[in-house]
Amino acid sequence: MLVRSLLIATSLSLLSSCSATTDDIIEKADNLFKQVTGQPDVIEVEDRTTSNVSDNSTSSNSTEENIIVADNSAYTSEGSESQSNSSDNSTSNSSSSTASSESLQSDSTVTKVEVKKAVIIEKTVLDKLKDSGLQFTLYFSYDGFDIDDESTKDIIEHANFMRDNPGVKLRLEGHADERGTREYNLALGENRALSVKEVLGLYDLSPRIDVVSYGEEKPISTKHDESAWKKNRRVEFIYQ
Amino acid sequence: MKKIFIFCFACYVGIANAVLEVTILKQSEDAFPIVIAPFEVVGNANQGKEIAKIMSDNFNRSGRFSASRGLRVLKTVDDINFKAWQANNTEAIVFGRVEQVSKTIFNVWVYLYDTYSRKRLYADKFAVHNSGIRRISHFLSDRIYDALLGEKGSFDTRLAYVTVVNLKNGKREYRLEISDSDAQNPQAILKSNDPILSPAWSPDQRKIAYVSFRNSRSEVFIQYPFERRKTRKLPYFDGIASSPSWHPSGESILLTLSKSGNKDIYSYDLNTEKITRITKDSGIDTEASYSSDGKRIVFTSNRSGQVQVYIKDLTTGKISRATFEGKYNAKAVFSPDGKQLAMVHRVGTDYRIALLDIKTRDLTVITSNKLDESPYFSPNGGMIIFATSKDDHGVLSVVSIIGGQTFELASKIGEVREPNWSHYLK
């Protein structure tokens, strides 16, 4: 396969070779992870926002919990458990969190403000993620599902984001260009999404990832040339 | 009564919009000239006039005949001027009669004569309900085809295909449609805003298996177009379920499943719901289908590092590579006699339809387009239907294996793709 050999030729090929062992991959990924992020374990949230909540809360996890609240508000489909708890404990509206209502012992309006702030921060985090030039769509070579270096860096940043935001779930949609048969392309699209999931899996994120393939059925460009095909051979990151 | 009329009218409008346009693009070089005389009509039997037209259109599409419509009604064999037809190089003559028996029942007589020997090759009489005129025309076409060539025709059969229309709201409408073999009498049996793939007629013509993304992932369904019966969803395992293909017995279905991400071929027993693994390879295995005796399956695999076609002998369990020419061969299907494969074959940057002689490994590219896919044999093996792109627009194309006659099926309002040809109707 021409594509594969080209990728191997690039010096920093991460997952390009099927013969690479898992350990190799993890080590390489970890190195890249550090290169890209500096300190991987620090959760980046602006001080101003976290202080309001963390002053009153007892555990060091509060920052993270607050983000969960934000996630719940921003992505309404997730985290119904904490919301139902809060409505059991207090008469506050459903957007208040267990953590806030229990530890703060404040009235619901205050909590609401806190949550609103958290939502704004959360949006900032997502915006920042997007503004940082991070790709939400990764592209692939013809009939290929190998991840190149550039994409690996992007995936690791996504991994960071997901680790910082434990309530977030990710749907990876694999796609193919129109060339070749539809059923084969359906399989190929899944392989592409699975390649991305494999890297994210190194950060224990697999349980939060749903993989689907649309094959060649949902092209970005419906033209019939390489510039169109390039755009269509892709995996899309859809946060839920 | 009024209600019925309105209903029928509505149906007619819907159908008129959806009929695919049939255009013969290339005439066969080896066509056998025949004449189909207009049928004699006795009583109020105007529907009977359709018969000669449907039959001559059938013969002309087949690539084996060049049928002209006679001008004069022939009542008996004595009306045939054999010498004149011989001078005209016409090899055979069809004529017949339609007679009204009751309000909805007609008797149909049909005769076939050889112009040179002046012998009667075929004659028959049927009683037909008004609604069966099209069906009897296809049935008689098959009989005449058989009488002249000694092989079955593929006229009394159905097609299934997917149409795609871009809606004004930016969405797409996918329709799974079925029609007669001449693209007439189309019916949409499923409409969806999500993609529909790989329709496949069951061997008994009562069911259609297909892939739908209605639940935001590829899943296989079985629908019963002629029965009030709930659509059946086949199991999937957290990945893709796709590429359905029936066992000749109709009792089981081949599927591509990606259990734990690895795409392999499985057989799913529709009665016991038991799943049997057919292939086991770390690469992609998909697009499997049976030979008509059910003893072999052909499938696409990238196990060699290239996309190629493989055959598994189900008696010995042995898997052997079938294609060695070209870097991309996929979606192969067995010819009804099991001797050949039709497949998608890449030539340079183009994807074309090729025929492979399994024994000699001779590969013949039979199309010259850029983006052909989904080849499927007519049930007599005489023609191959496939999807292609014409002026950036998806159409179906049918090519005859003898003579290379080509005709196209196109929709005025959208794209047509994913063709499948039924077996003979029962």
pLDDT mean values, one per 10 residues, chain B (426 residues):
33 53 85 92 80 94 90 87 90 94 92 95 93 92 96 95 94 95 94 97 96 95 94 88 97 94 95 96 96 98 96 97 97 98 96 97 95 96 95 93 92 95 85
User: At CB < 8 Å, which residues of chain A contact B?
Assistant: 1, 4, 143, 178-184, 186-188, 190-191, 194, 211-215, 217-218, 222-224
Residue B138 to residue A16: CA distance in whole angstroms: 56
Q: What pLDDT is stored for residue A75 in this prediction?
A: 33
pLDDT, average across residues A11-37: 44
Chain B hits for A184, CB-CB cut-off 8 Å, are 284, 286-287, 300, 307, 330-331
| Cα–Cα distance for residue pair B93/A202, rounded to 1 Å | 75
pLDDT of residue A121: 55
Contact assignment for A224 to B198 by CB distance below 8 Å: no
Q: What separation in angstroms does the CA of B107 have from each of A74, B128, B216?
A: 72, 6, 52
Which of the two residues, B339 and A23, has the higher pLDDT score?
B339
- Looking at residue A208, the DSSP 8-state letter turns out to be G
Which of chain A's residues have a Cβ under 8 Å away from the Cβ of B239? 190, 211
The segment(s) of chain B belonging to CATH 3.40.50.10070 are: 31-149
For residue B383, give the nearest of B367, B400, B366, B397 by alpha carbon: B400
pLDDT tens across A62-92, in order?
333 332 223 333 333 333 333 333 333 333 3
User: What pLDDT is stored for residue B26 in this prediction?
Assistant: 85
Kindly list the residues from chain B whose CB atom is less than 8 angstroms away from the CB atom of residue A183: 197-198, 242-243, 256, 286-287, 300, 331
For B346, residues 6+ apart whose C-beta sits below 8 A from its C-beta are: A180, B326, B327, B328, B329, B352
What pTM value is reported for the model?
A: 0.79
> Residue B44 has what pLDDT?
80
Q: Look at residue B18 in the predicted model and tell me its pLDDT.
A: 74
Cβ distance A183 to B300 less than 8 Å, yes or no, reads: yes
Instruction: Give me the pLDDT at residue B161, please.
Output: 98
Q: Which fold has domain B158-421?
A: Neuraminidase (2.120.10)
Q: Is the CB of B330 inside 8 Å of chain A's CB atoms?
A: yes
**Which residues in B11-70 belong to E strands, given as ranges?**
21-26, 32-36, 40-42, 65-69
For residue B397, what are its two tokens? 């194309």
Size of interface A-B (CB pairs under 8 A): 89
pLDDT of res. B131: 87
Smallest CA–CA distance, residue A184 to chain B, in Å, is: 6
Token duo for residue B224: 């019963």
In the prediction, which pLDDT does B7 show?
Answer: 32
pLDDT of residue B47: 73
Cβ contact (<8 Å) for A184 and B330?
Answer: yes
> Which pLDDT does position A102 carry in this prediction?
40
Instruction: Given the cut 0.85, state whether the ipTM is greater than it.
Output: yes
User: Quick one: B31-149 is in which CATH superfamily?
Assistant: TolB, N-terminal domain (3.40.50.10070)
Domains of chain A from N-terminus onward: 2-40+133-239 (3.30.1330.60), 47-130 (no CATH)
Q: Is the pLDDT assigned to residue A38 strictly greater than 60?
A: no
Residue with tokens 């794209």: B415
- Which residue among A191, A218, A222 sits closest to B284, beta carbon to beta carbon? A191
Residues in chain B with CB shorter than 8 Å from the CB of A179 are 351, 371
Q: Are the beta carbons of B307 and A211 separated by less than 8 Å? A: no
Q: What is the CA radius of gyration of chain B?
A: 23
Average pLDDT, chain A: 66
pLDDT for the residue numbered A167: 87
User: Which residue's structure tokens are 């659509």?
Assistant: B231
Residue predicted with more confidence, A105 or B361: B361
For B63-128, where are the alpha helices, taking DSSP H only? 82-87
Q: Are A148 and A28 in contact (CB under 8 A)?
A: no
B308 touches chain A (CB under 8 A): no
User: C-alpha distances in angstroms, A122 versus A15, A69, A81, A97, A237?
Assistant: 32, 9, 20, 15, 18
**Residue B416: strand pairing partners:** B163
Structure tokens at B337: 């006699």
Start-end ranges of CATH 2.120.10.30 in chain B?
158-421
Contact A190 B263 (CB under 8 A): yes
